[in-house]
Structure 1
Amino acid sequence: MPNRTPRTTTQKRLGHDHQQQRDRLLHRHVDGQPCWWCARPMYRDRTRNWDYNPNATRTDGKPDTSSGSLGADHSTPRSQSTTSRADRLLHGTCNKQRQGGHRDDQRPALTNRPDTDPALGTRIFNWP
């Protein structure tokens, strides 16, 4: 099976408009507000967020300068609405865990189940 070239943010409909919307959300953000997904506090300074990893690297081996950054999330998933705009911030890891929103009823903020396990590390799929 041939390797697919990863799509750019613009090809995923996360281009300039999405980045501008994220900037607007960050401008209105109040440090310490809880994340909708995990209920942990969120900060503009990425080094203060729980998912910050100073040793994180990208796939090309360079330092990951997005570790701990807040991500702009669509409460109405893009798969359900082509006109959906990002309307809230989540931790970057929480945004990845949420995926398309089909498990919103199982999010850690509601279930009180941690999204990390000391033996396993951070889990993207938080189910047994």
Structure 2
Amino acid sequence: MKIYFSGSIRGGQQDTNLYAELIQELKQYGTVLTEHIGSKTIDTTISDKEIHDRDVKWVKESDIVIAEVTVPSLGVGYEIGRAIDMNKPIICLYRVLNGKTTSAMIRGCSDLQCFEYSNVAEAKEILKKQLKTT
């Protein structure tokens, strides 16, 4: 299975370590096309267009999209929208922080499976359960 993992990069990298742990978990279910999301280093050698085209290609190639949507990100929202148009299965994970939850546009979309979690162990359990049924 090819997995496209999406998480905020330019919108804020405070969850990079969490992304790395989730990516490591996802590797037991298939190939994660976007392992770089778990890195604190942003590749500045490629243009915005190259990033866009590469990532859209990966979304097309993927069998499933997993998005961590706690940190708001235009890019993640864009990727989710494109994946919906491509009829990809999409799982969104989010935490409630300081009383703030994720967008109603995400949680209210019937094309997505959205799951709230409190810690990485809980997120891994959600992924385990969902990926066994996908």
Same fold (TM over 0.5): no
More strand by share: 2
TM-score, scaled to structure 2: 0.29
More helix by share: 2
Which fold has the larger relative contact order, with Cα–Cα distance below 8 Å and residues 6 or more apart in sequence? 2
Question: Based on CA coordinates, which of the two structures has the bigger radius of gyration?
Answer: 1
